[in-house]
Amino acid sequence: MPQHHNTGPNRRGQGFENSERLRELLTRLNDDGPDAWRTDAEAAALMRHAAQKYAALARKHGLDPWEAATAAFEAMRTAAVRRADDPWAVITRAVQITCIAENRANGLLCSVHQARRPRYSSFHDAERFSDRENPITDYHPAFRADPFTDDDDADTGGEIESSGSTGVESAVEDTIALLCWHGWEPELARASIECICARLAESVSRAGAYESLRRDRHARALLDIPAPSWYRLLRIILGSPDTHLAGTNAGRGLLLRLLIGEALWHLMDDTELGAAIKVAAPGIMRGRP
């Protein structure tokens, strides 16, 4: 009787770990056609063995053991594994790469295909602005006053320090609420504002955050926002970088206006701001001819 028809758990497990034994089994399953993987008892036993074999690797990356077994299954069906000097080595590496990509995809909120590519996987995991341990005002100069700025500068647009994390969180929530009030989808509004705030926390100034986000195609792709809508939103939230608008509401931006004490109800009555937010809404932008 051929070796692949051996029964008994111990002999089968030992057979699976043998590279030549595994090669013979994979070759037979390939020759028998795709239905063999669904109906062959030995194929089912092999997958159970793979789930057990890679359970620890899966847990290390926050995955279910059967997700690792699925990656092993995809590798086992390839000719490269059947021709390899050590099939298990190739399978293990394939499972490891897939687990890493799955973990990065979960963190980056993108597809596994994108997470496999260095241009995307190099980014840090997505995070909510409210989840940061230290409030943005503790270390970010964009919301601080220059102690050497005179009163005139302060009155005409100097950036002042907010009243702590509560003020920042309130400003963020009010910004999201204002976007929703003017037609933005709630989930997209929150994701966009948190993305902008996260980048703001990493930049040395609002202008630096604006320029970084303006050039960041990856962030825009993850949010699925058209470029015109994204550029308009950045100007609305962070303020226009145009020097002749410095000290004006357009130059301050919505976040700073909220942080320096403008009430949400007052901003809701700002027709110019409301019109700009409505025009920036992705649905409106896409619906234009």
Q: Which pLDDT tens digit goes with each residue over 227-269? A: 899 999 999 998 887 777 777 778 788 888 888 888 888 888 8
- Displacement of CA 155 from its chain's centroid (Å): 39
* Cβ–Cβ under 8 Å, residues 247 and 157: yes
Structure tokens at 272: 């110019």
Same domain membership, residue 64 and residue 95: yes
Indicate the pLDDT class of residue 11, thresholds 50, 70 and 90. very low
Same domain membership, residue 219 and residue 111: no
Final residue of a structural domain among 97, 121, 145: 121
**Model-level pTM?**
0.43
Same domain membership, residue 215 and residue 158: yes
Is 206's pLDDT higher than 50? yes
Same domain membership, residue 139 and residue 106: no
Same domain membership, residue 268 and residue 133: yes
Is 220's pLDDT higher than 50? yes
Indicate the pLDDT class of residue 287, thresholds 50, 70 and 90. very low
Same domain membership, residue 117 and residue 134: no
**Predicted pLDDT at 233:** 92
Percent of the chain with pLDDT over 90: 7
Final residue of a structural domain among 75, 93, 121: 121
Q: CA separation (Å) from 1 to 6, 45, 111, 174, 193?
A: 8, 18, 46, 74, 66
Same domain membership, residue 149 and residue 114: no
Is 67's pLDDT higher than 80? yes
Is 284's pLDDT higher than 70? no
Is 156's pLDDT higher than 60? no
* E strand or H helix at 70: helix 65-76
Q: Please state the domain count of the chain.
A: 2
The whole domain housing 154 covers 129-287
The candidate with the shortest Cα–Cα distance to 222, out of 82, 78, 85, 124, is: 124
- The secondary structure of residue 239, as a DSSP letter, is -
Same domain membership, residue 151 and residue 115: no
CA geometry: angle 47, 49, 50, nearest 5 deg? 65
As a whole number, mean pLDDT of residues 80-106 equals 85
Same domain membership, residue 222 and residue 263: yes
Same domain membership, residue 239 and residue 276: yes
Same domain membership, residue 278 and residue 136: yes
The candidate with the shortest Cα–Cα distance to 94, out of 64, 116, 72, is: 72
Final residue of a structural domain among 74, 100, 121: 121
**Predicted pLDDT at 143:** 53
Indicate the pLDDT class of residue 133, thresholds 50, 70 and 90. low
Percent of the chain with pLDDT over 70: 71
Structure tokens at 47: 């997958």
> Among 44-53, 120-129, 167-176, 205-214, where is mean pLDDT lowest?
120-129
Same domain membership, residue 114 and residue 152: no
